[in-house]
Copies of this chain bind each other. A is one copy, B any other.
Amino acid sequence: MNNYQEMWRTLGLNMEAHDQLLQVLPPTYHDVYLTQANRPQGMEYFDFVVNEIHGLRIQELQEHKKAGGKVIGAFCVFVPEEIVRAAGGICIGLCSGVEIGTAETEKVLPRNICPLIKSFMGFKLGKVCPYFESCDIVVGETTCDGKKKAFEILNDYIPVHVMETPHMKKNRDRRLWLEEVRDFARVVEKATGHTITADNLAKAVQEVNNKRRALQRLAELRKQDPAPISGKDSLLIEQIAMYDDVARFTAKVNALCDELEEKIKAGQGVFPRKTPRVIVTGTPMAIPNWKVPHIIESSGAVIVAEELCTGLRYFENEVAEDGQTKDGLLENLAARYLGINCAVFTPNTGRMDRLLQLVEDYHADGVIHCALSFCDPYAVEANRVEKTLKQHNIPLLKIETGYDQEDSGQLKTRVEAFIEMLG
């Protein structure tokens, strides 16, 4: 711990505020995670990663930087990690799921804005995030008004490169997005001082695809009844996917899947057979925002899939590996990322089709739509989800909530009533 104190001080963290933050996490984690019954042994690694969230992984980033490497932060699943890796960089997800630095943040942002945006701004202004302070550059995008405009302010504190995600998926949008991906490659080459080649890009594509395949394998196992792993544990793994070492993470997820396959063969699961099965859809749930999943799984249901950015949207499509040239691979990347069913797109019919498919494939009894407070893209699109599911007689519960715990009791009552109706 002493080593980390020195590291955090060197990073310029506000030590007092940071200490307070670190004291909040362990009891929450204990209550939400460590009290679960029948947890797979393979979760030990992910418990360790959370325990070392501001320790070991930050140390690895610092060692990487000492060796001349760069760290690039991102806020969105649209930022192609492959490009950063090809140039020898490390890509880190910076979205954050806890109220912090609110007083400072409300000096530069409106009070009524998405808690995820307030949170990342609070972490930066309050100097309490060692990931942020390890970044050489951060990459924004234009997936929502709040982030798009907040990045202009963030740029006062750290250099921000913004990728323009279009609003539609027409050919003209695909062309624009491909140019954005090419620009990003140039920005990363400049920041890292390394040239991206067909070879190092092909290798990076394969590594990140392997990460996706491990997560797909895990998702596939969750189609079983009884569920071999809780939704909370699965979400945690999907959250960790965004900042852990790629090769190590991939190996650990695959090892966990080996264990789960054995359990499935033995007919074992973490909840009784016939437990009501729920799919969660909506806005990202960034660490440590486990609020709604915890309510759901402590109310008698199991979450079997997350149609979220911290979930399937992150890993469900692979990048084609057949590009023979650098530009061919960049085209494959652009195509893969534009396939994401984000509510930035109008209309976002792909998400509706996907949800129906997921309900069928995962034998779900109902869907819970979770939107962060003041998130217009998802809160309005919830109406399209509602219309689609109603047409197919699939039960839906719509929730809008922030990072505070004030509405927990009310949410639990609503979730319990919904699950009772499913059972």
Residues of chain A at the chain B interface (Cβ within 8 Å): 108-110, 112-113, 142, 144-146, 148-153, 162, 164, 166-168, 170, 172-173, 175-176, 179-180, 343-344, 346-347, 371, 373-374, 376-377, 379-384, 400
Contacts and interface: CB of A to CB of B under 8 A. Distances in A.
A373 to B, nearest CB: 7
A104 to B, nearest CB: 13
A383 B153 contact: yes
A175 B149 CA distance: 23
Contacts of A164: 166-168, 170, 173
Contacts of A108: 383
Copies in the complex: 2
Nearest to A112: B374
Contact of A149 (B146, B152, B162, B377): B377
Looking at A112, A164, A380, the one whose CB has the most chain B CB atoms below 10 A away is A380
Contact of A346 (B148, B346, B384): B148
A144 B380 CA distance: 12
Contacts of A167: 142, 148, 164
A150 B374 contact: no
A380 B153 contact: yes
A339 to B, nearest CB: 18
A180 B346 CA distance: 14
Given A149-B376, A172-B176, A346 B162 contact: yes
Contact of A150 (B170, B371, B380, B382): B380
B347 A152 contact: yes
A109 B150 contact: no
B384 A152 contact: yes
A379 to B, nearest CB: 4
Nearest to A345: B148
Which 4 residue pairs of A and B lie closest in terms of their CB atoms, listed nearest first? A149-B380, A145-B376, A110-B379, A142-B167
Looking at A142, A173, A346, A376, the one whose CB has the most chain B CB atoms below 10 A away is A376
B400 A149 contact: no
Contact of A152 (B142, B145, B346): B346
Looking at A108, A173, A176, the one whose CB has the most chain B CB atoms below 10 A away is A176
A135 to B, nearest CB: 20
Contacts of A175: 172, 176
A152 to B, nearest CB: 5
Nearest to A382: B110
Contacts of A151: 346
